[in-house]
Structure 1
Amino acid sequence: MRKKIYLGSFVLLVIILIGGMYYSLPYYVSKPGMAKELGPIITVENGYKDEGNFMLTTVRMGRANIYSYLEAKMGKYEELYPLDMVLNKEETEEEYNVRQLHLMAASKLNAIEVAYRKAGMPINYNYKGIYVMQVISDMPASGKLQAGDRIFKVDGHQFQSSEEFINYVGKKQAGDKIELTFSRNKTTKNVTLSLQQFKEDPKRVGIGISLVDDKDIVVDPKVTVKTDTIGGPSAGLMFSLEIYNQLTKVDLTRGYQIAGTGTIDVDGTVGPIGGIEQKIVAADKAGAEFFLAPNEKGAKNSNYRAAVKTARDIKTKMKIIPIDTFDEAVQYLEKLQEK
C-alpha cells in the first residue's frame, strides 16, 4: 500500500514538474542573446570587403514559465516584463510576432536608404500595398482579416502609399461598404466590409486595423539582407554601417570587431532599444572590441549610460561609444587607427 502511495506521489510530482514547463505566466523573459557578424547576412552586389566585422546584437525573449521566471529572478542579466509592457492593447502574441518582423523589415529599408544616400547613390521605392499589423476586436475587420494579410486593392483601386489608403477610407461614412483584395499564405482573397465609427474617436470611421506600408526599395547596386526570423528594429544602425561599408572603399571596421545596437530613422537618427544590458553581455562574449550604443542626446537614463554601467559590472575591455546619428558613427569610425 505504501509503495502505491509513493508511486502515486512520484507520478504526481513528475506531472507537476512537466506542467511547469508548459504553464505560461503573464510575463516575458529577456536574456542575453548573441552577436552575429553582418558580413554573411548583408551582401551588396560587387561590394567592398572588410578586414574586421560589424555585428548586430540580440536578446532572447519569450513567454515565461515557472522555471524561466525563477531563473530570471535569480539571474543578474535577465529581465521580466509584464505582458502589457510588451504587447499593445488587445494585441495577441501572433500579432506581436508579426509586428516584430515588420519592424525589422522597416528597419532594413531605413538602413538601406541611409547608407545609399550617404554614399551618394539614387533610391526609389516600389509600393505594393499595406500589411495588416493588428486587428481590433468589435470592428468590421475582426474575424475577416488577420495580422500578416497584405491588402493591395480597395474597391479595385491600387494606391501608392498607406496614407492614400487611409484618406480614401476616411472620406466615407459609417455604414458604407468597401471591398478589399488581399493575399494570405500566397492565396488571393476578397472581402466586403462595412465601415464603422471608432469608439475612441466617433468622428473617424474605418475597419479596425493598424497597418504598415508594404514596399520594396530599388537601388543599384542591389543589396540583399537576410534576417530570417530576427524581429524588431534594433539592428538598424549596424545594418546601415555594414551596407555603407560595402558601398565605399574605406574600411570603417579598421580590422576591429565592432558590435552595436540602435534603431535608424530615414534621416539617420539613432534611437534607443530595449535590453541594452543583455546585448553588452552578448557582445562581450563574442569578443567585440567596440560597442556603439544609442546616446539619446546625453539623457540620464540613456542606453549609453546603461551600457557603460553593465560594461563595468562584467569588467569587459570593450569600449562603449555614445552615438546619436549615423553620420556621427561614421565620423568616429573614420578616425580609428587601423588595427
Structure 2
Amino acid sequence: MRKNRSLLFLIIAGLIFAASSFYYLPYYVSKPGMAKELEPIIKVENGYDGEGNFMLTTIRMGKANIYSYAIAKISKYQHIYAIDEIRSKDESDEEYNVRQLHMMDSSKTNAIEVAYEKARLPVKFKFKGIYVLHIVPKMPADGTLKPGDRITKIDGDEFKSITQFTDYINSKKAGDKISVTYERDDETKTVSLAIQPFQEDKSKLGIGIGLVEDKEIVVKPAVHIDTEEIGGPSAGLMFTLEIYDQLTKTDLTKGYQIAGTWTISPDGTVGRIGGIEQKIVAADKAGAEIFFAPNEEGASDSNYKEASKTAKDIDTNMKIVPVDTFEDAVAYLKKLKVKK
C-alpha cells in the first residue's frame, strides 16, 4: 500500500512539474550560448582558407518559466528581462522572431558590403520589395498579411524603393482599395485591401503594416551565409572578417581561434551589443584565444570594459581587444605574430 502511495505521489509530482514548466512568466531569461566557427557557415566561391578560425558568439534567450526564472536568480551569468525590455509594444512572439531574423539578414548584407568594398570588389543591390515586420491590430492587413511576407507589387505595378511604395499609399484616400501582391513560403498571392486611418493618428493612412526595405546584395565572387535560425545583428563584425579573409590571400587568423561580437554599419563602424558578459563565457568555453569587443570610443561603460571585467572574473587567458571599426580589427590581426 505504501509503495502504491509513493508511486502515486511521484506520478502526481511529475505531472505538476511538467505542467508548471509550460507556465510562462512575463519575463525572458538570457544565458551564455555558443561560439561557433564561421568557416563552415560562410562560403566565398573559390575563397582562401585560413589556419585559424573566426567564431560567431551567441546568447540563448527564451521565455522564463518558474524554474528557469529561479535558476537565473541565483546564476551570475544569466539575466532576467521584463517582456517590454525585449519586445516592442504590442509585438507578438511571431513578430519578435521575424524582427530578429531580419536583423540577422541586415547584418549579413552589411558584412558583405563592407568586406567586398574593403577588398576593392564591386557591390550592387537588387530591390526585392517591402518586408513586413509588424501587423497593426484591427487594420486592413490584420488577418491577411503576416510578419515575414514580402510585398512585391501594388495594383499590379512593381516599385523600386520604400519611398515609392509609401508615396503611392499616401496618394490614396480613406476607403480606396488597392491590390497587394505578396510572397509567402515561396507562393505568390494577391489580395484587395482598403486604405484606412490609423487609430492612434487619424491623419495617417495605410493598410496597417510595419515595414522595411527588402534588398539583395549582388557580388562576385558569390558568397553564401547559412545562419539557419540564428537571429539578431551582433555577428556583423565576425561575418565581415570571415568574408574578407576568404576574399584575400593574407591569412588574418594566423592559426588563432578568434571570437567577437558587435553590429556593423555599411561604413565599417561597429556598435554596442547586449549580453557581452555571456558571450565572453561562451567564447572562453569554446577555446577562443582572442575576443574583439566594441570600444565605443573609450566610453567608461563600453562593451570592452564589461568584457574585460568578465574575462578577469572568470580567470580566462583570452585576450580582449578593443575596436571601433572593421579597420581596427584588421590592423590588429595584421600585426599579430603567426601562432607556433
Shared topology, TM-score over 0.5?
yes
SS of the residue 1:26 aligns to: strand
- Cα 1:312–1:189 change in 2 (3 A) is same
> Structure 1 314/3 Cα, relative in aligned 2: closer, same or farther at 3 Å?
closer
1:137-191 CA distances to partner (integer Å, 9 max, x unpaired)? 1222111111111111111111112222122212222222211001222222111
**Structure 1 residue 245: deviation in Å?**
0.7
1:73, distance to aligned residue in structure 2 (A): 0.8
Distance apart, 1:6 and its partner CA: 6.2
Distance 1:246 1:3 in 2: 65
Task: Report the Cα distance in structure 1 between the residues aligned to 2:210 and 2:284, rounded to whole angstroms.
Answer: 38
Match of 1:302 in 2: 302
Deviates more, 1:116-125 or 1:292-301: 292-301
- Paired residue secondary structure (1:22): coil
Q: Quick one: distance in 1 between partners of 2:310 and 2:297?
A: 19
Counterpart secondary structure, 2:240: helix
SS at match of 2:143: coil
Question: Using the alignment, how far apart are the partners of 1:212 and 1:101 within structure 2?
Answer: 13
Give the corresponding residue for 2:47.
47
Aligned match of 1:214: 214
Amino acid at match of 1:226: D
Distance 1:195 1:224 in 2: 39
Match of 1:193 in 2: 193
Number of matched residues? 339
Give the Cα–Cα distance (whole angstroms) in 1 for the partners of residues 92 and 290 of structure 2: 37
The CA deviation at 1:5 is 7.0
Residue 168 (structure 1) aligned with residue 205 (structure 2): no
Q: Which moved more, 1:25-34 or 1:175-184?
A: 175-184
Residue number in structure 2 paired with 1:243: 243
Offset at residue 207 of structure 1 (A): 1.2
1:2 deviates by 8.3
* AA partner of residue 105 (structure 1): D
Structure 1: which 4+ aligned runs deviate by more than 6 Å? 1-7
Question: What do you get for the CA RMSD once the two structures are aligned?
Answer: 1.7
Question: Normalising to structure 1: TM-score of the pair?
Answer: 0.95
Deviates more, 1:97-106 or 1:11-20: 11-20
Indicate the larger mover: 266-275 or 10-19: 10-19
Paired residues for 1:121-160 under 5 Å: 121-160=121-160
Give distance in 2, aligned partners of 1:93 and 1:87: 8
**What is the deviation of 1:304?**
1.1
- Residue 173 and residue 298 in structure 1: after superposition, are their counterparts in 2 closer, same or farther (change >3 A)? farther
Residue range with higher mean Cα deviation, 183-192 or 50-59: 183-192
> For 1:200 and 1:297, how far apart are their aligned partners in 2?
39
| Alignment deviations for residues 62-98 of structure 1 (CA, whole Å, 9 cap, x no partner) | 1111111111111111011111111111111111111
Write the mapping of 1:318-329 to structure 2, written as runs, cut at 5 A: 318-329=318-329
Gaps of 5+ in 2: none
1:167 & 1:112 partners in 2: Cα distance? 30
Q: Distance in 1 between matches of 2:227 and 2:10?
A: 45
Number of the residue aligned with 1:270 = 270
User: What corresponds to 2:91 in structure 1?
Assistant: 91
Alpha-carbon distance change, 83 to 159 in structure 1, aligned in 2, over 3 angstroms:
same
How far does residue 9 in structure 1 lie from its aligned partner after superposition? 4.9
- Residue 184 in structure 1 maps to residue 177 in structure 2: no
SS at match of 2:110: helix
Tell me the CA shift for residue 8 of structure 1: 5.8
Q: Quick one: distance in 1 between partners of 2:288 and 2:133? A: 35
Deviation at 1:203, TM superposition (A): 2.8
Question: Structure 1: 5+ residue runs without aligned partners?
Answer: none
> Structure 1 CA distance, aligned partners of 2:53 and 2:255?
7
Deviation at 1:197, TM superposition (A): 2.1
Aligned-pair identity in percent equals: 62
1:250 is aligned with what amino acid? Answer: T
Map 1:16-95; keep pairs closer than 5 Å. 16-95=16-95
Looking at structure 2, the residues matched to 14 and 160 of structure 1 have their Cα atoms a distance apart, in angstroms, of 58
Bigger mean CA deviation after superposition, 210-219 or 251-260: 210-219
Pairwise CA distance, 1:231:
0.8
Distance 2:56 2:5 in 1: 54
CA shift, 1:214, in A, is: 2.3
1:199 Cα offset (Å): 3.4
